[in-house]
Structure formats: C-alpha cells, structure tokens
Structure 1
C-alpha cells in the first residue's frame, strides 16, 4: 500500500470513529483530550484532521452526511419504480439518521456550523425527493404534482422528525416516521 493510500485510509478510519463517537454521545461536552483518548490517538493526530475542536466537529458532520449519502444512494440504486425508490430513499435516510443519539441532535442544533450542514443536507434530500417525484410523473406513475411543494413538505417533516417533534407527538421512532412519511407522500401523489 502506498503511503498516501495508507494516510487516506487512516484519515477515513479516524473520521468514521469520530463520527461514531459523536453520534453515540454528542460532542459539546468532549474536549480534544477526551476525543483523543477515546479514539486512542494523540491530540496532534486530531490536529491533522482539523485545526480546532469546532473545525473537527464541522468536518465530522460533513463526513457523517457524506458517508450517509453514499449508504442511502447505494440502497436506492438497485430499486426500480418511482414509488419504491421514494420509499427506499426515505427509509434509508431514516435508518442512517436513527444512529444519532438525542444528545448528538441537541449538540448539532446548538452549534451553528454543524446545524448549517444538517440544514443544507436536508435541502439536498428534499431536492432528491423532488427529482424522484419528477421521475415518477414523467413515467406516469404519479399524477402531475407540484414536485417542489411535495419536496418542501418532505423537508419540513424531515426536520421535525430529526428534532424529535414527531416522536414526542406521535410516539413513532425516526425509522417508523420516515416510513409513514414515504407512505403518505407516495399515496398522495399516485396516479
């Protein structure tokens, strides 16, 4: 293995471990020393990833959403049919985000750079849903709908799901809430 290939793999492994730590426990209460100890690395190793704890949290949040997007798209890619693709997409998003602890979501919401990344990724997910709806309309599987409105509705619910509002009001866990959202959305736009 070439040195740069090893360094890239090691960097990815560190980010994966960092993301897993943050998802499980949140990040606001952790110092760089705590993080280094938990990842069994030095603080200087962490500084190769980012220049400060704040930059490390931001970079880890980007890594989480990049990794999750790859997983979601891998689940959707083999599916045919617009309805099934929307259900698969929203279910996969729910599964990926269900690994985030309440503490992580609280910390993310309280830290503007990470919250901005979350909000940007929610907009990206809404755009992806809009594209899937457009595919279904073109294929005749869905009635002609205002796809941007349907995507915006989806994004609004995604935010409520992630902020815990849906769980509080309905008792549904995130994965079940995403399945219900997919069912309502696809039933509402079916041809």
Structure 2
C-alpha cells in the first residue's frame, strides 16, 4: 500500500477532518451506496452544506472517503513495517499490517467499492502498489542472500491475485477465513516458498 498525502486533506478544518473520519467509519461498517447526502447529514448531525464543503456530490464524497481510508491505511502499514530490518520478518510485518489496516472494511463496503468504478480504481491502484512493495521486499531479501533465488515479479503477481481475492471477499467465501487470518496464511505460505 503506497500513496501520497493529499493537499486537499491537509487544508481541512478540524471539523471537516472529524467528519471525514466519521464518514470513513460509517462507510467501512455499512457501505456507502444506500446513503443519500441527507441520510449522511442526519447520521453525522451536520448540514448538507457542510458535506458539500467536502465534495460536490455524493459520488465525489464517496470517492474522497475511499481515498482517505487508503491514505490512512498506507501510512499505518508503512509505520508498522519501517523499523523491521530482517527481510522475512519485514514481509510478514508488511502483510500483517495490511491485514490490520483493511480489517475495519466490512462486506457492505467491499460490495459497494466493487460496484463503484472510482472507488474500485483507488482500491486496485493501492493493491497493485502493495504488491510492488512486496516484490521490492522480496528482491531485497534475495539480494541480501536471505531468500532463495526467485522471480520477485511472479511472486508479487501471485500475491496481488490473492490480495484482490481477499479484498473482494472471495477468499472468505471459499475458505471461511477472515481477511486478517488470510493475510497471515499468505505471509506464512510466501515465506516458506522463498526461504533458503
């Protein structure tokens, strides 16, 4: 997960930042497609004009909240990973941090994200960047002689495929594993496959 901070989010008032966080929590728990701006204003005890100050439409607001969620998730993942120097522990720490960051996103959020092209694009871009991060971590471990010679891009492509399946809920439907457990299993499988 990799993304950069948005200048627009830096310019928010304290109240707007709070509303963005409240919208994020609401959308992660209940999804976002069924809400109107009026529904959201009632739930958040604010005016519709306050919401319009964040975005010009419900779709733009949903897109902004999705970007906000992934920006925060990326920062949390990197913070949880940056201090780990051992390549194997770093890969495990990274995938475990991804699992923790994505854990609040419930089935309704994933369903709505999948049917909302701008949000899906944000999710897919972040997942692709996360896979690239895994590829770089594996390549670094290979270069340090800590992992066997593997094709890091093939491994990253495999990881990406499973990350998409986990995020869409396919893995949980197929295996019964929640996202966090699936990411832990992915980390264990990956490390066993590349260990010397």
Asked if these proteins are the same fold (TM beyond 0.5), I'd say yes
- How many residue pairs are counted as aligned between the two chains? 187
- Once the two structures are superposed, residues 130-151 of structure 1 have per-residue CA deviations (whole angstroms, 9 ceiling, x without a partner) of 1111111111111121111111
> Once the two structures are superposed, what CA deviation does each residue of 1:14-58 show, in whole Å capped at 9, x if it has no partner?
211111110000001100011111122111111111110000000
Partner of 2:151: 146
More displaced stretch, 92-101 vs 56-65: 92-101
Shift of 1:7: 4.4
After TM superposition, the runs of 4+ consecutive aligned structure 1 residues lying more than 4 A away are: none
* Displacement after TM superposition at 1:6 (Å): 8.9
Q: In the alignment, does 2:35 pair up with 1:17?
A: no
The aligned counterpart of 1:46 is 51
**Does residue 185 in structure 1 map to residue 190 in structure 2?**
yes
Give the Å deviation of 1:10: 2.8
Normalised TM-score (structure 2): 0.91
| Equivalent in the alignment of 1:30 | 35
**Is there any run of 5+ residues in structure 1 with no aligned partner, and where?**
none
Trace 1:79-94 onto structure 2 (pairs within 5 A). Answer: 79-94=84-99
**RMSD, matched Cα:** 1.3
For 2:174, the equivalent position in structure 1 comes to 169
Q: Deviations for 1:46-100, whole angstroms, at most 9, x for unmatched residues?
A: 1111110000000100000000001111111121211111111111111111111
1:115 Cα deviation (Å)?
0.6
In 1: Cα distance, 2:23 partner to 2:132 partner: 28
Report matched runs for 1:67-106 at 5 Å.
67-106=72-111
Task: Measure, in 2, the Cα distance between the counterparts of 1:8 and 1:65.
Answer: 20
When normalised by structure 1's length, the TM-score is 0.94
Following superposition, the deviation at residue 12 of structure 1 comes to 2.1
Q: Which protein has greater RCO, CA pairs closer than 8 Å, 6+ apart?
A: 2
Give the SS at the match of 1:144: coil
